[in-house]
Amino acid sequence: MKYDMLAFMMLMLFFSCTEQKEPITAKFIVDKGIAVSGGEQYATSKVRFKFRDAYYESELKQGKKLLKRITMVKGVETTDVRLGDSFQRFVNDSVVPLTDSLANGYSNSVNSVHYFSRLPYGLNDPAVHKKLLGKEAIKDVTYFKLQVTFSKDNGGDDFDDVYVYWFDVKTFKPKYLAYTFQVNGGGIRFREAVNERYVNGIRFVDYNNYRPKSPLKDVVKVGQWFEADSLELLSKIEIENIQVIGND
């Protein structure tokens, strides 16, 4: 009996030592990041917050993302509504006819604010392509470094932009992000997440928004530039009056 028990224990030890852990992939990192930042709360909650002079609201409506921006100027309320790929502007509850180019510009503007407020949620969308670039240390903390690109189909007007995300290897929370952009002559931006807080289970952050002090073409190297103090603070991106309500 002693030998049988010893053999059993050795067998269990063998299997525990040879058990394969789930491989660290870009999707694994994003999945973990979403889970610790809000998980299913993103899909089941209505979110409202103030950014600059407007209020933004989001919820899931019949399987589609309903995104709003509401501004009030001299008693006139303007509400921009993006539902899936459609867009409408209302002024005091009346629909305003818009050219395609104007509607597209407003729609992208609304989507952009909501996109950054909900990160890393959205990084598993079908149009997103993720690649693990390895690890990188910034300010003595080690991060998983991911590159994100987009398909032309369903990737939006800025599908050719390139993003880089830095996820903490211990917490899986995204701390930094960088991206290229083509409009207005193009360039690179680097954002540092600050002022982390949770509201009803969803993580929100503000950002310090940086730009290179001198021309930089390779967005993958921008973390090194941040370490070398070669970026300058351009602006602060802060959201206020956050409300998260369960979606019945």
* The overall pTM is greater than 0.95: no
Looking at residue 2, its pLDDT comes to: 44
Output the pLDDT for position 248. Answer: 54
Other beta carbons within 10 angstroms of residue 151's beta carbon come to 13
**SS3 category, 30:** helix
User: Residue 152's pLDDT is what?
Assistant: 75
> Measured between alpha carbons, how far is 205 from 42 in angstroms, rounded to an integer?
15
Sequence-distant contacts of 40-43: CB under 8 A, at least 24 apart: 41/200, 41/201, 41/202, 41/244, 42/118, 42/121, 42/202
| Spatial distance between the Cα atoms of 142 and 133, rounded to a whole number of angstroms | 13
CA–CA separation, 225 vs 238, rounded Å? 24
What is the Rg, in whole angstroms, of the alpha carbon atoms belonging to the chain? 22
Spacing of C-alpha 229 from chain mean position: 25
Q: Please give the CATH architecture assigned to the domain spanning 31-246.
A: Clam (2.50)
> Are 204 and 45 spatial neighbours (Cβ–Cβ below 8 Å)?
no
Where exactly are the structural domains of the chain?
31-246
- Give pLDDT tens digits along the chain (248 positions): 444 544 444 444 444 444 446 789 999 999 999 999 999 899 899 999 999 999 999 998 888 889 999 999 999 999 999 998 899 999 998 999 999 999 999 999 999 999 999 999 999 999 999 999 999 999 999 999 999 998 876 545 555 789 999 999 999 999 999 999 877 777 899 999 999 999 999 999 999 999 999 988 899 999 999 999 999 999 999 999 999 997 55
For residue 215, cis peptide bond before it (omega within 30 degrees of 0): no
Pairwise CA distance, residues 236 & 192, whole Å: 10
Distances from the Cα of 33 to the Cα of 36, 65, 123, 133, 149, angstroms: 5, 20, 10, 17, 18
Whose tokens are 């305003």? That residue is 96
